[in-house]
Each structure stands twice: as C-alpha cells, then as structure tokens.
C-alpha cells in the first residue's frame, strides 16, 4: 500500500528537526520504502512511501511525532482509483 505523508515544521522545533534530519537522514525503518520526499520553502513537506507493514509506518511517524505534526493517508494510483469509481455506476 502507498501512503502520502504531509508535515509542517513549527518554528519552535525548527532547529531540533534540522539537527535530527541531518543526523539520521530521515530514512524510514525496515519494511517501509520511501518513493520520494519533497521539502517546501514554507516549512511544509510531503513524502510518498510504500509498505505492507502498518507497524513499520507507525514507527517511522512516531520517530518524528515529538517535532512535526504529520498526517498519513493511504492512497491509490489513478488506475486503481478509476476502477473503484467505475464500480459506483451512475447516480
């Protein structure tokens, strides 16, 4: 399953978040593959990851929860979403 993770860096935790990122690289734990990560100049960012291990995803987010508010959303690619939409029929 793929996930979209979004976060923001509060001003009060900026320096601690930068230090942790530079120390660890923000790499995911075993069981999670990060497909890409982008950092906005406004202190917000997002990552796309893939995992079949919900506990590994939870661990990755928990490693940052003290510094960054995050939202993790399971997601589908267009083809899969299209199949679901097509199954709805006309209303």
Pick from 71, 28, 44: nearest CA to 36: 28
At residue 67, the pLDDT reads 97
Structural domain containing residue 50: 2-87
H-type alpha helices, 1-77: 14-24, 54-62
Count of domains observed in the chain? 1
At residue 56, the pLDDT reads 97
Q: Would the CA dihedral through 12, 63, 27, 2 be positive or negative? A: negative
pTM: 0.88
Q: Is the pLDDT of residue 3 over 80?
A: yes
Residue 34 forms beta bridges with which residues?
Answer: 49
- CATH number of the domain encompassing residue 56: 3.30.70
At residue 90, the pLDDT reads 75
């Amino acid at each position: 399953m793929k996930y979209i993770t979004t976060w923001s860096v509060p001003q009060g935790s900026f320096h601690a978040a930068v230090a942790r990122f530079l120390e660890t690289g923000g790499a995911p734990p075993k069981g999670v593959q990060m497909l890409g990560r982008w950092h906005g100049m406004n202190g917000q960012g997002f990552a796309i990851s893939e995992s079949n291990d919900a506990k590994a995803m939870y661990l990755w987010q928990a490693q940052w929860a003290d510094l960054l508010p995050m939202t993790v959303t399971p997601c589908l690619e267009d083809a899969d979403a299209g199949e679901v939409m097509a199954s709805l029929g006309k209303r």
